[in-house]
């Protein structure tokens, strides 16, 4: 047996959440197959198998696991046929007996994983009412989420409060809610005493037959029955994002300055050389490399923007480690390009592409996200026209890029259309003054409107 342990994923990470098993207990896995997803406060990554054999799971989904902890074993002596035979035997043992009722006993809360137990408790669900797809009939987290998505509230399917199914799934409407409101309103409309509860339904029908108007606020409609809510726990990375953003807003004096840049020159260079660039370097020439190079030049000209406040000291950096914000299905992440002052356009584009592919495959390491002296965020890829980004502490500033739009501008006394982009620089006013921030943004604008300056190092 080979033990599967939680790998080391960075100096600052000592534990994580086993978010999802990608293979089933007793399944035959090949070397390189992804076994489980490990979620830390910095990233979510898929952990591959280093061996081939039959997997024996020892840790539950949703469980917090320390680095080095054993979460499974792999029987390298077993074959794929052994796994198939075991699965068949497991299926036979789970089949209902002919003398029984055919119903599986509801799992006890103690038998559920922490993540499943939390979901069941929060939604007041009956575990026995949820179809289980895990090994041996085990209830998995995704089973509960699927049930919440598809089942709906009992009231929407005709269940009544007090009926046997009312205790399952999202709870039936309590007494005194919309049903009680409708009873009181219709009783009054029909001339019944408010206290005559038993006569209220008949009175409502009589009022309707007589053509009397009834306020829509007193009616329980199908639309109201379809208004469902569900509660799901925040992921570890979402908790971390929330914590960092609140920390940033509470610990710094944020101010944002704006400008706009004519992207004509950059777009002309891309159009003219993008085919040759991709042919030679194997990566596409994007806008981000121009902005990174321009930011490096501006950071060197205004070192305060590249510095941190640490207590009563200021830490200046002679290098530019620039974070590039990326959106993933689990939230915003910001991998860091190290020593950007030494990188070429091709190296910047290649590293951004590599980070993007790793992020989608959940293979980014926490060390890829550590540090950074400045950040660039491109909301323009989603169509954002203008925004005020939030700096990533302890960084002093963040640059926001936005969508490129043809707008009328005046050139040589003539109104012409130009591809324009708004730029936003949010900065910590404790560290730098308005003049320095505005000058930084003007320097960036000049570099982008005349790219030959950054190519020549001017």
The DSSP-derived string for 138-163 is: PPPHHHHHHHHHHH--GGGGT--TTS
Determine whether domain 2-93 maps to CATH 3.30.1360.200: no
More confident of the two residues 135 and 329: 329
pLDDT (mean) for 381-388? 94
53-67, 70-84, 93-107, 165-179, range with the lowest pLDDT = 165-179
More confident of the two residues 96 and 454: 454
For domain 236-456, give the CATH number: 3.30.559.10
DSSP tag of 124: T
DSSP tag of 269: H
pLDDT at residue 199 greater than cutoff 50: no
Catalytic residues: 429, 433
Alpha-carbon distances, residue 231 vs 61, 124, 259, 413 (angstroms): 18, 11, 41, 59
Let me know: does 355 contact 368? Beta carbons within 8 Å: yes
Let me know: does 422 contact 389? Beta carbons within 8 Å: no
pLDDT tens digits, one per residue of 123-180: 878 888 888 887 667 788 788 888 888 765 343 333 333 434 333 444 434 444 444 4
Euclidean distance between CA atoms 116 and 118, whole angstroms? 5
> What average pLDDT does the chain have?
80
pLDDT (mean) for 82-107? 50
Euclidean distance between CA atoms 27 and 392, whole angstroms? 42
Euclidean distance between CA atoms 108 and 117, whole angstroms? 10
pLDDT tens digits, one per residue of 270-291: 999 999 999 999 999 999 999 9
Indicate the length of the chain as a whole number: 458
pLDDT tens digits, one per residue of 219-258: 555 566 678 888 888 877 788 888 888 989 998 999 999 9
- Given pLDDT bands bounded at 50, 70 and 90, which one contains residue 105? low
Let me know: does 348 contact 340? Beta carbons within 8 Å: yes
pLDDT at residue 359 greater than cutoff 90: no
* pLDDT at residue 90, as a whole number: 52
Parse the chain into domains and list their residue ranges: 2-93, 109-155, 236-456
CATH class of 109-155: few secondary structures
């Amino acid at each position: 047996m080979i033990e599967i342990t939680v790998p080391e994923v960075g100096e600052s990470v000592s534990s994580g959440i086993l978010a999802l098993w990608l293979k089933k207990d007793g399944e035959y896995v090949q070397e390189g197959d992804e076994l489980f997803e490990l979620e830390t406060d910095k990233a979510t990554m898929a952990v591959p198998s280093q061996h081939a054999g039959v997997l024996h799971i020892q840790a539950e989904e949703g469980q917090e696991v320390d680095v080095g902890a054993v979460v499974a074993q792999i029987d390298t002596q077993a074959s794929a046929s052994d796994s198939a035979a075991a699965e068949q035997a497991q299926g036979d043992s789970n089949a209902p007996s002919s003398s029984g009722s055919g119903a599986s006993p509801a799992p006890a809360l103690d038998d559920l994983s922490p993540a499943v137990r939390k979901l069941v408790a929060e939604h007041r669900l009956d575990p026995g009412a949820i179809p289980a797809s895990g090994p041996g009939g085990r209830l998995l987290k995704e089973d509960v989420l699927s049930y919440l998505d598809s089942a709906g509230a009992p009231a929407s399917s005709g269940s009544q409060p007090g009926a046997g199914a009312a205790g399952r799934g999202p709870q039936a409407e309590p007494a005194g809610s919309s049903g009680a409101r409708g009873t009181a309103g219709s009783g009054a409309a029909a001339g019944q005493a408010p206290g005559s509860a038993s006569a209220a339904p008949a009175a409502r029908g009589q009022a309707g037959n007589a053509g009397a108007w009834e306020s829509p606020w007193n009616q329980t409609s199908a639309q109201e029955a379809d208004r469902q809510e569900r509660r799901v726990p925040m992921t570890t990375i979402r908790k971390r994002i929330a914590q960092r953003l609140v920390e940033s807003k509470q610990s710094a004096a944020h101010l944002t300055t704006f400008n706009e840049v004519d992207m004509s020159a950059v777009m002309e260079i891309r159009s003219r050389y993008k085919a040759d660039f991709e042919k030679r370097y194997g990566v596409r020439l994007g806008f981000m490399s121009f902005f990174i190079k321009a930011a490096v030049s501006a950071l060197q000209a205004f070192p305060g923007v590249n510095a941190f406040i640490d207590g009563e000291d200021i830490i200046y950096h002679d290098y530019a480690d620039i974070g590039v914000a990326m959106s993933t299905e689990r939230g915003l992440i910001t991998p860091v390009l190290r020593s950007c002052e030494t990188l070429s356009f091709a190296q910047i584009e290649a590293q951004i592409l590599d980070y993007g592919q790793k992020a989608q495959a959940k293979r980014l390491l926490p060390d890829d996200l550590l540090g950074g002296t400045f950040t660039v965020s491109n909301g323009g890829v989603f169509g954002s026209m203008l925004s005020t980004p939030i700096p990533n502490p302890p960084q002093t500033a963040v640059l926001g890029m936005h969508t490129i739009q043809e707008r009328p501008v005046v050139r040589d006394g003539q109104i012409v259309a130009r591809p324009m982009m708004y730029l936003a620089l949010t900065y910590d006013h404790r560290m730098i003054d308005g003049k320095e921030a505005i000058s930084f943004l003007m320097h960036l604008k000049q570099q982008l409107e005349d790219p030959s300056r950054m190519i020549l190092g001017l």
